Amino acid sequence: MKKKNQIKLSASSVVSGIILRLFLIIWTVVVVFPLLWMIYTSVKSKTEFIADRFAFPKEVWIVNYFRAWNNSTAESSLLQYFLNTLIIVAISTFLFVLMVSATSYALAKYRFKLRKTMENFYFIAMMIPSALVLIPLWFQMRTIGNNLAHSSRIFTDNIFMVALIYAVQALPASIFLLVSFIRSIHNGFIEAAVMDGAREWTIFSRIILPFVKPILIFVSLGHIMNVWNEYTLARTFLESETNYTISLGIQSIQNAFTYSFEYGALFACLVLSVLPIMILYIVFQKQIQNGTDASEGIKG
Amino acid sequence: MKKKRNSVDVLSMNGSKWRFLLFLVIPTFALYLFFCIVPMINSLINSFYDWNGYGPKTFIGIKNYANIFSDVEFWDALKNDVAIVFFKELIIVFLAVLFAVSLTRARLKKGEIGFFRFIFYVPNILSVIVITMVWKYFFENFDFLDKGWNILKTDNGIWADRPLALIIFIASWCGIGYYMIVLITAINNIPGELYESADLDGAGKIRQLWYIILPELAPQIRFVIVNILAGSLAVNMNLILPLTNGANHTMVMGLYVYNYGTSNLSMVGYAYAAALVLMFVSFVLCFAVNMYMKRQEAKQA
């Protein structure tokens, strides 16, 4: 099929091929150069940076990474930020996967009163931008903390609460995707399991989960990335430095490093924060991009 | 729905299913209501009150809303949002279509396609902090790009004099990859026979692009445009909060709400009212654009 679509080589198609490649290469440079700059600046010494911000480093200044790692501000350290982020990502992803698959299964295959209402609630609220829920939610959690525990911070400055909120707020879009997938599972499979005396949990974990595994991997990869990178909600909720995520931590280190002109160390922090997500992207590039394909196929 | 089968009806409820609902599905729904719906309702109610977030509330009717519309900064923010979204749409749609078509219909090698697909998606996986910090310090002092031309040179540095242009650039930079992938899928789904018959008719690549690819792509392009529009209010705020925090006339609506809600604690009711106005504007815009484009598509078909 591909062969037939190709037209014969002509002068104009050679020229247009060159022009298109030119565009693609220019954009590659625009995308890659700032990131390359970030990487080579992270191993550049302070004096070299002051002399010329964009020049390649003449000597590799690995010490920046030690500066970044050991820069413990009064209360916290880069390691702590990493651990906090990891805990939030792990808890949030686990809860997210459990909640999204269970809810989608029930919405797709159960027949109970209020099912339609529930579905509509999830779908309508998909249009509410989470940025607008943020402030009212913050006040709500503070008020509850005040009333229950006489501390306005207990439910906001709390990485477990933040993880839970990430999981819950990510539900609608993924439920939308999964419900239509689960609906397409033939009832015969479930019927056979029921005949064998399987309980709901068995059906859910042995039939539904394996079936939706590819799509579930995609949505949880997306979730991991979003949570790892999230900034605004974390900035609003997490107040004490010992609870900071990596994004917040780097921002709080920023001033100290730029004040002393140690951009190298600051960029070393950035490189370290990108590293896990970059590895994830390199390993799962297919799933991440094919996953985009799948979600698009349904939304479009 | 299927009618009852002869053996068991798998869709009807039983004790095991009710337990599944009770322990997993209903708690999830309750949490969802609690974290997403209740705050929304709360903000709707409190937007009619003069409230500092803690003390007593006084009902003041629509006064919060009236104050918003008479605030110069609000109109500034609205104007900035519209400008950012408009240029972002132009840049992203143009480049995403260009790249998507190049990577599918131009005769690139397989390795090249994989390479560009990999690279162009990279900005989408970076965190907002990485993106904003790298670009912030990048543009702080980038005379090396500008030696002799002085096109990009401004009196107080580009961040002070052209902040909006930079924000538009950065926002587009991190959006293109995702939409390119969306469009690539759509182009790959166009049936090959369409091209074959066009080839037989002797239609060139450009004509194929204009008469086959773009019309077939119309629903996906509409999806891209509406998606950018709907996401923009949040995205603009997430970018600008760490970048300039609204300084140098870069206030946007999301940030306006955020600042009144968090730092200026005496005006929470006001912040909620602003948030609802923002949501309303966003809904109306998305709806109008969607309807308009759908009608255009129907006309073409």
Rounded to 5 degrees, what angle do the CA atoms B222, A231, B84 make? 40
Reported as type and span, the H/E element at residue A185 is none
Q: Looking at residue A293, what is its pLDDT?
A: 46
Q: Looking at residue A279, what is its pLDDT?
A: 95
Q: Looking at residue B30, what is its pLDDT?
A: 96
B224 in reach of chain A (CB within 8 A): no
Neighbouring residues of A130: CB distance < 8 A, sequence distance ≥ 6:
A169, A233, B36, B234
Region B275-297 average pLDDT: 88
Q: Which residues of chain B does A98 touch, with a Cβ-Cβ cutoff of 8 Å? A: 24
Sign for the pseudo-dihedral over CA of A227, A232, A234, A235: positive
pLDDT band for position A19 (50/70/90)?
Answer: confident
Q: Is the pLDDT of residue B55 over 60?
A: yes
pLDDT band for position B215 (50/70/90)?
Answer: confident
Nearest to B125 among A13, A110, A281 (CB): A281
Neighbouring residues of B92: CB distance < 8 A, sequence distance ≥ 6:
B172, B175, B176, B179, B224, B228
Q: Is the pLDDT of residue A8 over 80?
A: no
Neighbouring residues of B15: CB distance < 8 A, sequence distance ≥ 6:
none
Q: Is the pLDDT of residue B4 over 50?
A: no
Cα B58 to Cα B67: distance, rounded to the nearest angstrom: 16
As beta bridge partners, residue B50 has B58
pLDDT band for position A294 (50/70/90)?
Answer: very low
Q: Looking at residue A256, what is its pLDDT?
A: 84
CB contact under 8 A, A24 and B116: yes
Q: Is the pLDDT of residue B213 over 50?
A: yes
Tell me the average pLDDT of chain A. 86
C-alpha distances in angstroms, A97 versus A174, A235, B53? 10, 25, 35
Q: Looking at residue B169, what is its pLDDT?
A: 93
Q: Is the pLDDT of residue A2 over 50?
A: no
Q: Is the pLDDT of residue B272 over 50?
A: yes
Cα B249 to Cα B271: distance, rounded to the nearest angstrom: 19
Q: Looking at residue A249, what is its pLDDT?
A: 92
B242 in reach of chain A (CB within 8 A): yes
In three-state secondary structure terms, B56 is coil
The amino acid present at A210, given as its one-letter code, is P
Q: Looking at residue A278, what is its pLDDT?
A: 95
Residue A13 or residue B290, greater confidence: B290
pLDDT digits (tens, 9 = 90+) for A208-258: 999 999 889 888 998 999 999 999 999 999 999 899 999 999 998 888 888
Q: Angle between the A285-299 and B110-125 helix axes, to the nearest 10 degrees? A: 80
CA distance A217 to chain B (A): 16
Tell me the average pLDDT of chain B. 85
Region A147-166 average pLDDT: 92
Nearest to A232 among B123, B144, B238 (CB): B238
Q: Is the pLDDT of residue A299 over 50?
A: no
Residue A119 or residue A131, greater confidence: A119
CB contact under 8 A, A111 and B118: no
Contact assessment for residue A176 and residue A122, using Cβ atoms and an 8 Å cutoff: yes
Region A129-157 average pLDDT: 88
pTM score: 0.89
pLDDT band for position A93 (50/70/90)?
Answer: very high
Q: Looking at residue A292, what is its pLDDT?
A: 53
Contact assessment for residue B133 and residue A266, using Cβ atoms and an 8 Å cutoff: yes
Q: Looking at residue B145, what is its pLDDT?
A: 59
**Mutating which of A40, A122, A135, A279 best tests the B interface, going by the most B Cβ atoms within 10 A?**
A135
Q: Looking at residue B265, what is its pLDDT?
A: 62
Q: Looking at residue A73, what is its pLDDT?
A: 62
Cα B179 to Cα B164: distance, rounded to the nearest angstrom: 22
Backbone angles phi, psi at B55, to 5 degrees: -75, -160
Q: Both tokens of residue A85?
A: 């982020």
DSSP state of B146: G
pLDDT band for position B150 (50/70/90)?
Answer: low
Q: In this predicted complex, what is the ipTM?
A: 0.87
**Mutating which of B11, B14, B21, B28 best tests the A interface, going by the most A Cβ atoms within 10 A?**
B28
Q: Is the pLDDT of residue A74 over 60?
A: no
